[in-house]
Structure formats: structure tokens, C-alpha cells
Chain A
Amino acid sequence: MKKLLLATAATALCSGAALADDVKLGILLGFTGPLESTVPDMAKGAEFAVKEVNDSGKFALGTVTTVNGDTTCVDATAATAAAERLITSEGVKGIIGGDCSGVTGAVLQNVARPNGVGMISPSATSPALSTAEDDGLFFRTAPSDARQGEIMADILSGKGIKSVAVSYTNNDYGKGLAESFDAAFKAKGGSVTISAPHEDGKADYSAEVGALASAGGEMLIVAGYVDQGGKGIIQAALDSGAFSSFYLVDGMYGESLISAIGDGLNGAIGAVPGTDSPGAAKYEEASKAAGFDGSNAFSKESYDAAALIMLSMAAANSTDSKVWTTKVMDLANAPGEQIFPGELAKALELIAAGTDIDYVGASAVELVGPGESAGAYREYEIKDGKIETVGYR
């Protein structure tokens, strides 16, 4: 009996010692559910960063391992249970996730905050998360939808446009975008004459355009989908001569719009998420060599989330969430030497040497406000039936 007890105690000690050399990170994404086709390349992105750090041999805190947890994207109870397991039984020191905004918020409030574990979400875009109580534990490498509203307001006021009409597709995306634009544009001194929804899939939008035209405005903001009501609104606005200049949100980006509308679209402006950072191309190349598709949605952001967690731990020289989360903003933003994908070893060296770094990563990370991606957007203009890039914001 005594021997047995001794043996158990020894095993416990040994496993404890083993844990000290092992830094566990949780990958908490919707491996099942509506995002199940997107998530594999996101998880691989995160694992790719972990492998890069481990291969460098410069991560002083131990070997990094990952544990997966399933958020299901939609079921907050399942996501909370998965996060609970990652933290209490697996003992993860940081979480890459969650993926969808709803479950991410639930995990943050019910598990991450009570347990004091930091998380960086690669894909939650809800504006509500910007104001959520997070005790400094929550970051995201994805931009808030509110960000696009600000970008739009910036572009338009930069062109000296003072009053616009807004037509948005009648769902959460369109409504959220219209609201955030409304607030941002008014803050810049612009006025929104009307913000009216349109239903997708109708044959005729002349009544909707009639209302928009009646309210007036220098420009029509079309916050819809390129193959749906957004196209119909533009066509009807051109036909009735109600509007001749348009702003197109990210959902309205596409060559098909130009071929459908023709010359009337010339002069339209818009912005889509995009970056001219060399990081994106580098990452896509490296991912191809590693056997997954890094150009898939949010794969870059996942790589960046994992990299940021590990670099922060290195900079803080601690795996304690309360300590490493304080380093995230410093590392992600200028000043410092820019770090691109594949340069994590160099980053770890620089950190060890005490040099400032500016983590750019695959998605041109720049964290603003409460620790969310500034969101890089490509501003474009349609000239002579071609989409021409004006610049990046």
C-alpha cells in the first residue's frame, strides 16, 4: 500500500515536471457546424505557426502543443463546455478562438474571464465584442464589422461627400454595416438622408429606388450582395436617373457586377478587405508547400493569432495569461522590426535580445481600440469597366 502511494506520488510529480516543459495552446474553433468547411485551414494555420516556433528551438518556455476544442459555431453551451475542458482538464495557457461571434462572446464571459485565460479570435467580427468586458484577456486578428463603416466614412469624407443615401440588404450583415456607417459618417459631419433595407431576390427595385431618390443625396451606398438585390438597386437607380454615383461595400465586390451593369458603373468606388503586405503572399506560398490552402478565409488570421500568443509568451517570459496578454498590443503594433510569416524564429531572437518587434504576419496585423485588427482594406474605383486599386487603408 505504501509502495503504491509512493508510486502514485512519484508519477504525479513526474507528470507535473513534464507539464512544465509543455506549453499547451487550445484551438477552439467550429470543427463541426456551419463553418466546418472553413475551419480545417484555420486550424492548420494555427498549427503551422506552432510548428514553426517549435522547429526554431528558440522558444525558451518549452515545447508548444495544441489541443482542439469544438465550438460548433452556433451552440454556446457546447462551446463553453469545450473551452471549460481545454482550460481545466487540459490546462491550456492560451486559446486561439473562438470562431463565430456568438460563441466567442459566451466563451469569453463564461470560461476565459473566470479562469483568467487569454484568447485571440481569428474570425469573430461582431461589433458587440469591441465593448465586451474582457479583463484585458480578449483580442482578435479579425476586424470588427464596425471597422468597415469607419473606412467607408473615411473614404467618402475624403472625397468631400456630405450627404448620402444608404440601401442595405435586410439581414444582420447589411443592417450592422449600415448602422456602423451611419454612426461613423455622422461623426465626420456627413448626413445620411435615408437608410432603407431592400429584400434580395426581387425582380423590380424601382419602388425602393423611388424612396431613395426622394430622400436624395450625392451618392448611393449599396450595402448588399453583388448577385442579389444590390445589383437590382444599382440598375434601377441608373434607369430612373435617381443616382449616378455609387459606393460598393465588400459584399458588392465582383467582376460580375461590371458585366451586368456596364458603363453606368464607371466612377463607382468601394473597398474590400485586402492587403498589399508581402506577408499574405509569403504565407500562401508556405501553406501550399505545407499542404494546405492559406488563401482560405481566416487562415491567415489564425496563423497570426497563434503566433501572437507564442511571441507574447516569449516576450513576457511567462505562460501566465495575466502576464502575456499585456504584451500583445506592443508586439502587434509599430514601432519595431517588422515580422512576416516564416520569420518567427527571427522574432524570438529579437525578443530575447530585447529588441522591439512589430508583428505584421500574414494578415498585416495592426491592433486598435480594445485589441482588434484594424482591418486592412483595399480601396478601388471602377474606371472604364475595370476595377482599379486606388490604395490601401
Chain B
Amino acid sequence: MDLLNASITFLNFVFVPGLAYGAQLALGALGVTLIYGILRFSNFAHGDTMAFGTMVTIYATWGLQAAGITLGVLPTALLGLPVGIIATALLVLLTDVLIYKFYRKKKAVPTILVMVSLGVMFVMNGIVRLFIGVEEQDFSDGARFLISAGDFKKWTGLSEGLAIKSTQAITVIVAVIVVAWLFWFLQKTRTGKSMRAFSDNEDLALLSGINPDRVVQVTWIIAAALATIAGVLYGLDKSFKPFVYFQLLLPIFAAAIVGGLGNPLGAIAGGFVIAFSEVMVTYAWKKVLTYALPESMAPDSLVQLLTTDYKFAVSFTILILVLLVMPTGLFKGKSV
């Protein structure tokens, strides 16, 4: 039995990757949930909004790198991020004026808006591919590791290493800051309060003099910022490829729905639930168990519940289970 090595292995292969992935999903799900709560439709274009924001950030990063400006140990993309957020905010505001506004004025039912967002998704999909192409892009720079597996082994003398990539650390830190700011904004500021009022009861909010156009605009801007930040963090930590961002839509929606659509706290919880279940169900537990159990009980097989190909099936299954058992999600959001 060697619980220390068992826990290090668990941290290295399950906890740290799960935490970073969960934070990325949570940020994505927050955007989806915000749109759902205030604009009252599921925005299928969110994944491609993330891709668009990341693309602009990548161009900005390349520009900065070419000009010789870097952030030292931190990725330069963090400097390019504001550019990405502004461009994405402008794009979604433009889509709102050109497309969504028309349907909002007609009081279209949510199903129609969902279909509209599907159309927007395809257009954004095309825009991203037109500019940056379908290939994988690498834009991370700066220090790669906070702690590398080799160094960790040297320091501790343990046989298992623990690696924490700097992008993983940055992901978690940025996610905490963004979430804290978002909650402060929604709870304490006038605009945030009017957004929540609009979400709770639209008619009442209008009667009390809240400007609906402003609420919609602020919602879109925040959603664009969240999408861009989530996309850039995912791209830094993993890699940027338009198709992958399109596929991310599934776990992001699963996270938002599991947590309860329209509930920001639920989106965060949902993100981590989805991320950790994906990682834990597809992880081969042999090594951890070999360390943790007495030698006589050490497993011969890989102790892997599902192969990694079934990652997306895990989020699907959780989604279906939640919809069957508690349709409003873990945190009592709006029923879908």
C-alpha cells in the first residue's frame, strides 16, 4: 500500500486535468445559461462564438509576438484577450441587431430562436474557417509548466510525478476571477440587478422602467466575453481547432442543463460535474488501485469503465439522466 503515490497519480491524471477542463466548461456554460436566463433561448452558436473569439485573440497574439511584445512567463494570449472580447462582442451585437431582434420583436417562441441560433452557428462556423482555416493552431507561449513531472519527482523522491501546466493554473485562476466578478456584477450593480429582474419577470421589469435593449446588449457583451475567455483558455490548455470548438457545444450544454439552465451557480457546478465524470469514467484506475490496495488485491485488468472514445457519451448519459430525474437540474433552473 502506498497511498501517497496513489493520491499523486490521482491528482496528476484525474484531478488536475478535470479541474482545468471543468473550469473551461463552467465558463462556457455560464454564457449559455446567461443567454437562456435573460434572452430565453438555447444559443447553439455559443461553441462557434468561442471559436470566433479565440480566432481573433490568436491573430492579436500573433501580432503581439511579431512586434516582440510578450508577457514573459505568462502566455501572450492574455494580452490579446481584450481584442478578442471586443471583436466578439461587436459580432454578437451585430447578429442581435440583424437577426435576433427581429424575432424578439415578433415574440417568437423559443424553439424558433433555437433554430435561428443554429443558423447563426453555421454562419459563424464558416466565418472562422474562412479566416483561420480548419487546421490546428498553436498560439501558446511562455512557461509551459508550473511544476513538471520530472521536477516534482526530484523534489519529493516519489516514484510518481505531478505535473501542473501553467495553462491549467491560469485557467483555474482566471475562471475564479471571472466568476467572482460576474456574481458581484449580477448581485451588486444596478445593471446586474436589472438583468436579474428582467430574467425573473420580464413584464414587471419593463413596468419598473428597465430598458430592455440595454439589458439585452449587456447580456450579449458578457456572454461574448465569457465565450472568448473560455475559448482562449481551452485553446491555450489544449489546442485550437474550429471543429473541436463546435463539438464542445455538447458538454457545455450538458453542464448548463445539469446545473439548471438559467442558474449561474448551476452552470459552474454542472461544468465540474460533467468534466469530472468524463475524466473519471474513462480513466484506467489500475495504477491508482495498485498503489492504494494491498498487493494481493492489485488488479490485473485496466479497471477502465469505458474507453476514452466514449467521452461524449458520458456527458450525453448524464444529460439524459438529469432530464429524466430532475428536469430543472441540480440547482433548480428553469425547466427545459
Contact = CB atoms under 8 A, between A and B. Distances in A.
A214 B163 contact: no
Contact of A240 (B13, B240, B303): B13
Contacts of B9: 214
B279 to A, nearest CB: 6
Contacts of A240: 12-13, 17, 149, 163
Interface stretch (A46-54, A196-204, A313-321, A370-378): A196-204
Tell me which of B237, B238, B307, B308 has the highest count of chain A C-beta atoms within 10 A of its own C-beta: B308
Interface residues of A, number: 27
B148 interface: yes
A86 to B, nearest CB: 43
A215 B302 contact: yes
Nearest to B241: A203
Interface stretch (A121-129, A180-188, A205-213, A343-351): A205-213
A215 B9 CA distance: 12
Contact of A211 (B152, B239, B284): B284
Interface stretch (B38-46, B118-126, B285-293, B325-333): B285-293
Given A196-B307, A211-B308, A214-B302, A241 B12 contact: yes
B25 to A, nearest CB: 12
A218 interface: no
A274 interface: no
Interface string A237-248: 001111010000
A206 B20 CA distance: 12
A216 interface: yes
A352 interface: no
A241 B243 contact: no
Contacts, number: 92
Given A201-B243, A210-B284, A215-B284, A241 B148 contact: yes
A280 B13 CA distance: 47
Interface residues of B, number: 44
A216 B9 CA distance: 12
A194 interface: yes
A132 interface: no
Nearest to B235: A203
B2 interface: no
Contact of A194 (B237, B278, B302): B302
A67 interface: no
A260 interface: yes
B238 A214 contact: no
Nearest to B237: A204
A196 B310 CA distance: 13
B203 interface: no
B171 interface: no
Contacts of B278: 207
Contacts of A213: 13, 287
B57 to A, nearest CB: 16
A211 B238 contact: no
B132 to A, nearest CB: 15
Contact of B287 (A202, A207, A216): A216
A70 B90 CA distance: 57
Given A210-B13, A215-B284, A202 B244 contact: yes
A340 to B, nearest CB: 42
Nearest to B285: A214
Nearest to A207: B308
A225 to B, nearest CB: 12
Interface in B128-187: 136, 138, 144-145, 148-150, 152-153, 161-163, 165
Contacts of A203: 136, 234-235, 238-241, 244
Nearest to B134: A201
Contacts of A239: 144-145, 163, 165
A170 B309 CA distance: 10
B283 interface: yes
Given A216-B287, A239-B163, A241-B163, A207 B282 contact: yes
B232 interface: no
A203 B238 CA distance: 6
Nearest to B308: A207
A74 to B, nearest CB: 26
B334 interface: no
Contacts of B335: none
Interface in A155-203: 170, 194, 196-199, 201-203
A224 to B, nearest CB: 14
A211 B14 contact: no
Interface in B193-238: 234-235, 237-238
A214 to B, nearest CB: 4
Contact of A214 (B162, B279, B284, B311): B284
Residue with the greatest number of chain B CB neighbours at <10 A, chosen from A194, A199, A239: A239
A310 B301 CA distance: 55
Given A241-B149, A260-B138, A208 B308 contact: yes
B309 A214 contact: no
Interface of A: 170, 194, 196-199, 201-204, 206-211, 213-216, 232, 239-242, 244, 260
10 contacts: A196-B307, A197-B307, A203-B136, A204-B21, A204-B237, A204-B239, A214-B287, A240-B17, A241-B163, A242-B149
The 8 closest A-B pairs by CB, nearest first: A241-B149, A214-B284, A241-B161, A211-B284, A203-B238, A203-B244, A210-B13, A214-B287
Given A211-B282, A211-B307, A214-B9, 6 more contacts: A206-B17, A207-B17, A210-B308, A214-B13, A214-B287, A214-B288
Interface of B: 9, 12-14, 17, 21, 136, 138, 144-145, 148-150, 152-153, 161-163, 165, 234-235, 237-241, 243-244, 278-279, 282-288, 302-304, 307-309, 311
